[in-house]
């Protein structure tokens, strides 16, 4: 039997229709040259040149062996999935038990403090009232932290947060995060020399320690006020009074959240939103004196997550910042993706090779951008179709094959053996960057 022939193993689905459960060789087309029962509702099917005078016993043994292999793979996958679900259930139960206990404590503090404040017959000095109000605020912050942890676990379980874990030295992560904090030059970091490596995502760890907020506004007094308010609450703050400086700062160090005014001296704030959204998924809050509905619609359609009109209350803005960061999905956004064969500038929407700039069609760029922003991760056929052509497209995989072939021809050193834009048969495509040196 020539191994280059398509050789699928077929079985019956739950609806009684026959489907391929395992396959060797290129996709099968046309009528099979041979079909042999394999037991357990499976058949071994061979496509290719006609098989003359087959040995029934040999083919039957081959079909039975293939069926056993498929069944063993099924059972192993089911057992692994069962173990994963059991561990998830155990962790969920433990977390909910701990969270239930921890939530009662701040709730009790809030109830006791608020009851005392509402009791008109209880003589309270101003100092006592301030202390009770501080208790309410601290307890509410603790509850918010607990709820955020529960939401984070839900996002992890749903696959909304991609954890890129590797062995991590915590002293390096902490040092990298603290470089961006106010007063870092006056802070001494003392970490034991024998601290072991841990398996974690360094990007997520650094983000837990310090959130960078980029504020873009041409009102210098407002910039100073926002810097004071955000820094006092533990955020690392970067300021820019024009769009060009803001984009350069974001490219140099991607922010975790951006607050941008629409009326800037060198460009409209909507253009900044569009440029940032071309390579970053970090939240963007628009801060503007434009109250009319079309301005809000344009900003939100360009990619902004929230819109706050001036004048505004600082408490409301800070609450919107906290909410946006809670909803944010941490990603490893980078404006420039570099390989040995080509460079993708996501902010400028440009691709270059050693020979010069590569001209891409809008569809080719959108496909490449989607794959590059999910670097190293599988992007399914359906995800690509939805992202590039819209939600009504789900099965038109021939569109993808044509445009990916064009991209490979323009970017891959050997289009017949793609190194960067690879196919996952039956699933989708993956952008595979160079291995780090």
Report the CATH number of the 81-158 domain. Answer: 1.10.287.130
Measured distance CA(121)–CA(115) in Å, rounded: 11
pLDDT in tens, the chain (437 residues): 434 445 555 555 545 566 666 666 666 666 776 676 666 666 667 666 665 555 556 666 666 676 677 677 777 777 777 787 777 677 767 766 666 666 676 777 787 778 778 877 778 888 888 888 887 877 777 777 667 666 666 656 555 555 666 677 766 666 665 554 545 555 566 667 677 776 666 655 655 555 789 999 998 888 988 888 888 777 888 999 999 999 888 887 788 899 999 989 999 999 999 888 877 888 999 998 888 888 998 898 888 989 998 888 888 888 888 888 877 655 555 678 889 899 998 877 889 999 999 999 989 998 998 888 888 888 888 888 888 888 788 888 888 999 999 999 999 999 999 999 998 888 889 998 887 65
pTM of the model: 0.44
CATH 1.10.10.10 residue window(s) in the chain: 336-431
- Packing angle between helix 269-277 and helix 243-252, nearest 10 degrees? 20
- For residue 153, the model assigns a pLDDT of 62
Running DSSP on this structure, what letter comes out for residue 219? -
DSSP SS3 for 345: strand
CATH 3.40.50.2300 residue window(s) in the chain: 211-327
Measured distance CA(320)–CA(308) in Å, rounded: 9
Residues 322, 325, 326, 332, Cα dihedral to 10°: -160
CB atoms within 10 A of CB 77: 10
Report the CATH number of the 211-327 domain. Answer: 3.40.50.2300
Q: Smallest Cα–Cα separation from 347: which of 269, 420, 283, 274?
A: 274
Give the fold, CATH level 3, of 336-431: Arc Repressor Mutant, subunit A (1.10.10)
* H-only helix segments in 159-237: 170-178, 202-209, 220-232
- For residue 217, the model assigns a pLDDT of 93
DSSP SS3 for 350: strand
CB atoms within 10 A of CB 343: 16
- For residue 411, the model assigns a pLDDT of 93
Q: Taking phi first (over 0 means left), then psi (-120 to 50 degrees means alpha), and beta for anything else, what does residue 428 get?
A: left
CATH 1.10.287.130 residue window(s) in the chain: 81-158
Measured distance CA(321)–CA(312) in Å, rounded: 13
The radius of gyration of the chain from alpha carbons, rounded to an integer in Å, stands at 29
């Amino acid at each position: 039997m020539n191994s280059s022939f398509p050789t699928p193993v077929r079985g019956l689905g739950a609806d009684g229709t026959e489907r391929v459960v395992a396959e060797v060789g290129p996709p099968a087309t046309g009528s099979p040259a041979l079909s042999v029962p394999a037991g357990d509702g499976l058949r071994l099917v061979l496509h290719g040149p006609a098989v003359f005078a087959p040995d029934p016993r040999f083919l039957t043994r081959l079909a039975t062996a293939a069926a056993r292999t498929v069944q063993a793979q099924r059972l192993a996958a089911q057992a692994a999935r069962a173990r994963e679900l059991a561990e998830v259930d155990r962790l969920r139960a433990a977390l909910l038990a701990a969270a239930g206990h921890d939530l009662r404590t701040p709730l009790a503090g809030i109830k006791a403090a608020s009851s005392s404040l509402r009791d008109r017959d209880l003589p309270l000095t101003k100092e006592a009232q301030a202390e009770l109000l501080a208790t309410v605020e601290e307890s509410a912050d603790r509850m918010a932290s607990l709820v955020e942890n529960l939401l984070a676990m839900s996002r992890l379980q749903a696959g909304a947060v991609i954890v890129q874990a590797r062995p991590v030295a915590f002293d390096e992560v902490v040092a990298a995060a603290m470089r961006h904090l106010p007063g870092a030059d006056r802070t001494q970091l003392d970490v034991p020399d024998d601290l072991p490596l841990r398996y974690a995502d360094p990007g997520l760890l650094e983000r837990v320690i310090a959130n960078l907020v980029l504020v873009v506004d041409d009102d210098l007094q407002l910039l100073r006020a926002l810097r004071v308010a955000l820094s006092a609450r533990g955020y690392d703050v970067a300021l820019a009074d024009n769009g060009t400086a803001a984009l350069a700062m974001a490219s140099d160090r991607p922010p975790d959240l951006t607050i941008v005014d629409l009326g800037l001296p060198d460009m409209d704030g909507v253009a900044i939103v569009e440029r940032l959204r071309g390579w970053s998924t970090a939240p963007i809050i628009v801060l503007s004196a434009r109250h009319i509905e079309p301005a809000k619609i344009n900003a939100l359609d360009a990619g902004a997550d929230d819109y706050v009109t001036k004048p505004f209350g600082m408490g409301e803005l800070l609450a919107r910042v906290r909410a946006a960061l809670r909803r944010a999905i941490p990603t490893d956004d980078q404006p420039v993706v570099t390989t040995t064969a080509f460079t993708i500038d996501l902010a400028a929407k440009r691709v270059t090779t050693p020979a010069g700039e590569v001209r891409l069609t809008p569809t080719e760029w959108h496909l490449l951008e989607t794959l590059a922003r999910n670097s190293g991760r599988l992007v399914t056929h359906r995800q690509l179709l939805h992202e590039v052509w819209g939600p009504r497209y789900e099965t038109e995989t021939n569109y993808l094959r044509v445009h990916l072939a064009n991209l490979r021809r323009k970017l891959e050193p050997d289009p017949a053996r793609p190194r960067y834009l690879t196919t996952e048969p039956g699933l989708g495509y993956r952008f595979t960057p160079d291995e780090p040196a």
